Structure 1
Amino acid sequence: MSLLPNVSNFRFIVTPFTRFYSKTEKTNSNLLKLLKTMPKEPKHIAEAQKQRLRIKQKNSKFAPGKVTVQILGTGAKGAPRSVYLFSDQSRYLFNCGEGTQRLAHEHKTKLAKLEHIFITHPVWRNIGGLPGTALTIQDVGVPQIILHGPVELNELFPATRRFVVIRDLKIKMADCSENSCFVDNVMTVKYVWLTRTLPEETDKAIQVGTENNDATTSTKSKNRSSRKRSSSRHRNESEIFEDNTDYYAHERKKKRSKSRTQSQNPTESGTRTIQETAPSVTQTILKECKEMDLSICYICQLQPRPGTLNLNKCVQKGVPPGPLLGKLKNGETVTLANGTVVKSSEVCEPDDPGPIFIVVDCPSPEHLESLVNNPELKKHQKYATSDGDVACLVIHFTTKEIMLLPEYKEWMDNFPLSTEHIPVNELNSCMGSIAVHRIQHKLNMLSSDFFPLLHEKGTPFLDEDIDNHQSKKQKFDKEEMDKIKTDCAALLKISSRHVGGLSSYHLRPRKGFDSTSHINLDPLEYTGETMSLEEFPEALKTLQQQLVSSKTSLSSRDFPKILFLGTGSCIPNKTRNTSGILLQTSETKNILLDCGEGTCGQILRFFGPDKGDRILANIDAIYISHLHADHHIGLIGVLQARKKALDKLNIDRSPLHLFAPKQIMTWLNFYDKYFESIEDEYVLVANGEIVLNNTILAKSTKNGIQESLDLKDISTCLVKHCPNAFGVALVHKDGYKVTYSGDTMPSEQLVELGRNSDLLIHEATMEDELETEAIIKLHSTTSQAIQIGKDMQAKHVILTHFSQRYAKLPRFNDNFADNVTIAFDNMQVRLDELPLVPLLYPALKIMFAEHYEELEHKTLKRQLRAERLALAETS
């Protein structure tokens, strides 16, 4: 017996959205009762916050005995820029690029102790991971986070509040005025401002509104700066409005006035709460900040710590166990029973005054003068008045291009040879993840066509595995990496480090640079784990025979290809990124369907940096299904990477077509106006203007767009998810039709839109036994998604957007037919090859047997629990 309601004929009607969908929908009283009684907030967060505060209060009186700098994101092409400072008490993050939270999850970095995030320069490569990281640390019970950096950061979370829902986390902004300090029991941090100093001949141009001249993301290339915008672009630019839509209304509490009132009142000196409502910084100030282009460097010094007590020396001096040891440890002089006087300095190690490290980010050549002449930074170079004032470490977020400049190299030469330098930029090549390679090597055993090995070569293989992978051309190129190291050292003319993922520098105790934590790939281990499974070798042999015999009957068109860049929902985990699908219609035409955080990095990891640039340059359209963060937060990163790729390849290409809900312009206009210029990289085509049978867009305009994309038609429909959520169908000039659901419950309108599709890509967030949860979250189950494919008579169905509980494999059921495919990250399949993919399923179930058995066990427990509840209600 089961309590799960029969929802086969259920039609959507949740009160906040009744105006959004048809008024003819009928109420399901069981669902409304469930929504009314379900818990509104996870209880674990409040308890975790209390426990965190208790630990903090206990440790706040002492300087920590262990402090380490860890390179979490190396800044390699496609990888985040992020450095984690952890002690045995607190955690600090310096910059937070896209993908930071995913690497933190994989490497078990304890975000529960994170309290402060320091941002050097407010550009996407430094802040793209902030929204996702904030959601993650909120969920693990962090009560408060303080942002340090330029004042523009104060507006980031208010600007994203519609799609980044911060409920239980207070976000405050530190006062980072020039030469001021932050102090706690771990360290003292001094803020050092770098501002632009422009040549006289360009001053006038800047004053009248010349664009922000960021060296790597905002500079306009000479051959593309005068591109003409389309008439539709001008129309959309005039539609400036505030998007007040609540995209998470079905998950929010109705009233939160108490918490909002509390959050608007500062509670600590030197910080101010980032408000959830009206912006706290005026538009005029934001414009001035963008023109000043402020970057903040951080001079960090650990708090002094008394030398530790050396017990061996105490024994030699005859000090007995007991209270005298405590006095000596506290710096006191004691007299023993025999009259011997023992000084603390005689039995304790030398005091640690606290080493100094510097975090620097010089974003453009115009900032160099501010950097090299800064008196605060000079105090820690060779001009230091004492050895204790010399920086032991400098972390460079400065881009590789700026580090090549003679002025920057000369500035670095002014540090003594004892100072270590760690670049966190494209001088590095390791993207920091083992998990994505591990699962790809395993899946590659099943099919090298569907699961090719990744072309990111910056993560080294273990030495013993190099020769075994030469045939697959995936070996770690030692000569290439040695050249990078040599170039890096020659470039800096001083001691410097080419860093891999998780490289560390131990500040206390002083052990210096530590490369033992570098990540390495071990393909023999990954494949060996699978081949050791009892039934797998035979299943693999059978699969290979089936693939060979089946391929002969299939056509061999190279395109279209579908590459899944992200197949998970809500937040990324180490094996499934958030939503992103690359539809390659030809060698030179790419369309991106949704764009979750880290999408750009996924492209570069799959294709490698060089081919990845060509793929990015050939993206002619991006489709955003709806405005939940896991579907569009990676958009800015892709726009910037595409522009950089076009500049690098010296290609003049029109702005891409951005198909999205028009409400996305509130966010994009804000970012363009106050952070970095991105408006010339896209032309908005509102999803609501190309609805099937109700197209508003002028026919000539739509035809022109379709022709440029080699499409016969592109149309959308509203689907049953959050407000302004759409599905899309694309009909190629070659005749095939691809439909993508976005996020949705079963939708009759999607069925009509996708009628007779060659391929339906449909979300399948939940397994069938979680149908009630799927209704609450406004998602589909696997059987519902498959049924939609049957209803629209789609030839093939690919299921994606799985709950992260299905990290490796979703649960199968009886509805899985020969035309149903399960998507994995980094799975690439040609349309003509889709009939082959279901052949992999028996081997997949053996490969991930442990994970699959766990899913089955959890399902059984849920069923038993439901039966017990039903029995209790009837008794």
Structure 2
Amino acid sequence: MFSDQSRYLFNCGEGTQRLAHEHKMKLAKLEHIFITQPVWKNIGGLPGTALTIQDVGVPEITLHGPPGLEEIFVATKRFVVIKDLKIHMAECGVNNILEDNVMTVKYVPLLRIESFANEVDIEEGENIAGVKNSEANAIAEQADACTSTRSEKKRRRRRSKSSSSTNSTSEEVVDDTDYYAHEHSGGRTSPNLVSINSQQILQEIKEKGTSMTYICRLRPRPGALNLDKCVKMGVPPGPLLGKLKGGEDITLSNGAVVTSKDVCEPDDPGPVFIVVDCPTEEYLDSLVNNDELKKHQVFAKNDEDLACLVVHFTPAVIVRHPRYKKWIESFSPSTQHLMLNENNTCMGSEAVHKIQYKLNLLNKDLFPILGDQGTQVVYEASGVHINKKQRCDCKSESTTQNDLDMNNLSVKSRPTSPVEPYIFPNTFCNYHLRPKKGLDRTAELKLNTVEYVSETMELDGFSDVLQKLYQDLNEMKKRLTVRDYPKILFLGTGSCIPNKTRNTSGILLTLSENENVLLDCGEGTCGQLIRFFGNEIADTTLVNTNAIYISHLHADHHIGLIGFLQGRRRALDNLGLDKGPLYLFAPKQIMTWLNFYDRCFENIKSEFVLVPNGDLLFDKVVISESSKKDILDRLKIRDIRTCYVKHCPNAFGLNLTNRDGVKITYSGGYDAFREFNPTRQRL
């Protein structure tokens, strides 16, 4: 939300930092971040966004939401260095109100009604409100993530029967290492860890299950002075106009009285908008029976109290629930409803598409057109939106801008369901609260693919160089033998922080048709998969990812892990599969962070089995022969080894040999490579 003085952010998922950088969002004015529910889809971008806010000089930020949110910054303090930004946690009780010079905010906590868990057994296949079983399963998954009180019988996630002892011993890991100490002067320091008391509070909040709703009202504003009316009533220029604008009545030199209300527009009492997130059916009772929310529905005593806008972070399956739909219908017909959930298809970035279209001119095999079909494509020459399916297979290398078939360059931008008249915004869709203009789609993100190609082809001499490149590549192909596997897909190559065209570290290693290993997992890695493959192929790719390797514990190499694990779980549910957990090869100290998150926010530990990198050292393998054989058989590889590398504490390199004897060596720390080549510079 933008005002002249301030910025307000509601929820902060993975990729917020990167999109803010690409779209030049001025975060220097950001003062408040409101979180509806403490789950990764809402808070996964907080560490990275906090770093950006700190870098632009913001001295302090206030978090709003369920208690304990600020502890995530304590838990990540070892690998996310926040030193110049003060983070405050607002008191968000029902009797507390945020008031500043822009708006007032009331907090409405929605509580989970546990009795619902005894009434509906989603796992046994009941169809809720006519929704698909896979969508009903998603409700169960989210309920499981938010609480540990559901019975084990009703949990869909199955912990692996073959969990190794490494997972149990990892419970005892306590890590107070500062992973950036080698970059500081004065030696290493030991960051504070989350206290036992704070963890107990967070666990209680997780057990209770709270989702925060926000009722926001802009400050009242006096009506604007209508100069035309002033002229008609004979008010001369000067101080009398100021008095009228300030609400005073005046007397003219001829004795005529002019009242303020005669020449001013009606006062603006301040529009009301509501931000709501109803995660599962268990929260519906708390939502529909809430008296504070009813004050802004058709039950409102005054028209000025009617909500002009409701922003729904509520999952699509709950939006379609009869009780939720009835609750929506209890608002005034003038209230508009903005949906921000999985039905939104736009992933927010133009830059990644723009660079890919340009690179695709060089080689269609190395740089295929992205499979993400979530953003509108517009053919600028005609202004006509094209709605045929975008092809991921491109023209031959000899394609020029005149050969492009625009019918093959379009994507969908609106969900096909539900059909209710809700607003499904794309990036840069605006809703103007003041002055009251309502919905504005004119600035929505669109892809002008012809422009991207044209501006490249029009560069002096580019066409000739391109033709020479095609000739060289064709000659090279005649001399090369290309294996089908392994394949390497660079999902992120950026160092330290993402930029608009390069995400943080993540490499997908495809060993065979049904076997993937992910090498490092920076923020937004799961989203990068979806951008590249599109939703359907991305689901298959996620399901076939049976191992993740984390080289070291700098945030840009592992902060996307939770989102990736959750993305894989959703893909398994979408495809109706139950493959069990994946292997997580990582420094064992990562469990301090993952244990904390699992205990205090969402259940994630059933999604992986930890194999500490230190147990696979090439000269000192600790893991048992039987356990290693199970790993090799599961991943369909011949060998896997690690070694220490010079970068930061607990940093490792990896050597993996596939069944054809091809060896792949990887180190996520650039310092290690500089040892072998001192002239190599950081990219």
Same fold (TM over 0.5): yes
- Taking the aligned partners of 2:188 and 2:631, their CA distance within structure 1 comes to 44
Offset, 1:357: 0.3
The correspondence for 1:575, drawn from 484, 501, 505, is: 501
Tell me, yes or no, if the aligned pair for 2:388 and 2:408 is still in contact at 8 Å: no
Q: Does 1:250 align with 2:185?
A: no
Determine the structure 1 residue equivalent to 2:605. 679
Q: Does 1:784 align with 2:680?
A: yes
Offset, 1:124: 0.2
Determine the structure 2 residue equivalent to 1:295. 211
Tell me, yes or no, if the aligned pair for 1:441 and 1:527 is still in contact at 8 Å: yes
Letter in 1 for 2:431: Y
Determine the structure 2 residue equivalent to 1:627. 553
Of residues 586-595 and 646-655 in structure 1, the stretch that sits farther from structure 2 once superposed is: 646-655
Runs of 5+ consecutive residues of structure 1 not aligned to the other structure: 1-84, 206-211, 261-274, 752-779, 786-801, 804-875
Determine the structure 2 residue equivalent to 1:454. 370
Q: Does 1:388 align with 2:284?
A: no
Determine the structure 1 residue equivalent to 2:419. 489
Task: After superposition, give the CA deviation of every residue in 1:797-816 in whole Å (9 maximum; x if it has no partner).
Answer: xxxxx65xxxxxxxxxxxxx
Letter in 1 for 2:528: Q
Task: After superposition, give the CA deviation of every residue in 1:811-867 in whole Å (9 maximum; x if it has no partner).
Answer: xxxxxxxxxxxxxxxxxxxxxxxxxxxxxxxxxxxxxxxxxxxxxxxxxxxxxxxxx
Task: After superposition, give the CA deviation of every residue in 1:357-378 in whole Å (9 maximum; x if it has no partner).
Answer: 0000001111111111111111
Tell me, yes or no, if the aligned pair for 1:727 and 1:742 is still in contact at 8 Å: yes
Matched ranges for 1:41-80 at <5 A:
none
Matched ranges for 1:403-482 at <5 A:
403-463=319-379, 464=382, 472=391, 481=412
Tell me, yes or no, if the aligned pair for 1:160 and 1:667 is still in contact at 8 Å: yes
Q: Give aligned-pair identity as a percent.
A: 56
Task: After superposition, give the CA deviation of every residue in 1:519-562 in whole Å (9 maximum; x if it has no partner).
Answer: 11011100111111111100100111111222122224221110
- Taking the aligned partners of 2:476 and 2:429, their CA distance within structure 1 comes to 47
Offset, 1:496: 1.2
Matched ranges for 1:786-825 at <5 A:
803=683
SS in 2 for 1:543: helix
Tell me, yes or no, if the aligned pair for 1:154 and 1:280 is still in contact at 8 Å: no
Q: Does 1:616 align with 2:542?
A: yes
Q: Does 1:155 align with 2:87?
A: no
Per residue, is there more helix in 1 or in 2?
1
Tell me, yes or no, if the aligned pair for 2:167 and 2:609 is still in contact at 8 Å: no
The correspondence for 2:592, drawn from 663, 666, 674, is: 666
Determine the structure 1 residue equivalent to 2:128. none
Determine the structure 2 residue equivalent to 1:40. none
The correspondence for 1:241, drawn from 173, 193, 198, is: 173
Task: After superposition, give the CA deviation of every residue in 1:659-698 in whole Å (9 maximum; x if it has no partner).
Answer: 1111100000000001000011001111111112122222
C-alpha spacing 1:435/1:204, structure 2 compared with 1 (3 Å)? closer
C-alpha spacing 1:278/1:473, structure 2 compared with 1 (3 Å)? closer
C-alpha spacing 1:217/1:533, structure 2 compared with 1 (3 Å)? farther
Offset, 1:215: 2.9
The correspondence for 1:361, drawn from 260, 277, 280, is: 277
Q: Does 1:349 align with 2:271?
A: no
- Taking the aligned partners of 1:361 and 1:662, their CA distance within structure 2 comes to 35
Task: After superposition, give the CA deviation of every residue in 1:346-401 in whole Å (9 maximum; x if it has no partner).
Answer: 22221110000000000111111111111111111111111111100000001112
Tell me, yes or no, if the aligned pair for 1:719 and 1:747 is still in contact at 8 Å: no
Letter in 1 for 2:474: V
- Taking the aligned partners of 1:632 and 1:322, their CA distance within structure 2 comes to 64
Matched ranges for 1:209-224 at <5 A:
214-215=141-142, 218=145, 224=157
C-alpha spacing 1:149/1:444, structure 2 compared with 1 (3 Å)? same
Determine the structure 2 residue equivalent to 1:26. none
Matched ranges for 1:264-413 at <5 A:
279=195, 282-413=198-329
Matched ranges for 1:171-250 at <5 A:
171-199=87-115, 202=118, 214-215=141-142, 218=145, 224-225=157-158, 227-238=160-171, 240-250=172-182
Determine the structure 2 residue equivalent to 1:146. 62
Offset, 1:744: 3.3
Tell me, yes or no, if the aligned pair for 2:31 and 2:60 is still in contact at 8 Å: yes
- Taking the aligned partners of 2:469 and 2:308, their CA distance within structure 1 comes to 57
Q: Does 1:113 align with 2:9?
A: no
Determine the structure 2 residue equivalent to 1:542. 468
- Taking the aligned partners of 1:458 and 1:242, their CA distance within structure 2 comes to 42
Offset, 1:432: 1.1
C-alpha spacing 1:467/1:122, structure 2 compared with 1 (3 Å)? closer
Determine the structure 2 residue equivalent to 1:709. 635
C-alpha spacing 1:316/1:252, structure 2 compared with 1 (3 Å)? farther
Of residues 680-689 and 694-703 in structure 1, the stretch that sits farther from structure 2 once superposed is: 694-703
Q: Does 1:591 align with 2:517?
A: yes
Determine the structure 2 residue equivalent to 1:770. none
- Taking the aligned partners of 2:408 and 2:436, their CA distance within structure 1 comes to 33
- Taking the aligned partners of 2:185 and 2:407, their CA distance within structure 1 comes to 51
Task: After superposition, give the CA deviation of every residue in 1:197-226 in whole Å (9 maximum; x if it has no partner).
Answer: 123773999xxxxxx955377389866525
- Taking the aligned partners of 1:169 and 1:176, their CA distance within structure 2 comes to 21
Of residues 716-725 and 224-233 in structure 1, the stretch that sits farther from structure 2 once superposed is: 224-233
- Taking the aligned partners of 1:412 and 1:527, their CA distance within structure 2 comes to 45
SS in 2 for 1:489: coil
Tell me, yes or no, if the aligned pair for 2:28 and 2:58 is still in contact at 8 Å: yes
Of residues 683-692 and 88-97 in structure 1, the stretch that sits farther from structure 2 once superposed is: 683-692
Offset, 1:335: 2.0
Tell me, yes or no, if the aligned pair for 1:580 and 1:594 is still in contact at 8 Å: yes
C-alpha spacing 1:349/1:126, structure 2 compared with 1 (3 Å)? same
Of residues 321-330 and 379-388 in structure 1, the stretch that sits farther from structure 2 once superposed is: 321-330
- Taking the aligned partners of 1:232 and 1:122, their CA distance within structure 2 comes to 30
- Taking the aligned partners of 2:357 and 2:536, their CA distance within structure 1 comes to 22
- Taking the aligned partners of 2:412 and 2:449, their CA distance within structure 1 comes to 19
Q: Matched residue pairs, number?
A: 646
Matched ranges for 1:125-140 at <5 A:
125-140=41-56
Letter in 2 for 1:489: V
C-alpha spacing 1:331/1:479, structure 2 compared with 1 (3 Å)? same
Tell me, yes or no, if the aligned pair for 1:215 and 1:365 is still in contact at 8 Å: no
Offset, 1:518: 0.6
Determine the structure 2 residue equivalent to 1:59. none
Tell me, yes or no, if the aligned pair for 1:459 and 1:476 is still in contact at 8 Å: no
- Taking the aligned partners of 2:386 and 2:2, their CA distance within structure 1 comes to 38
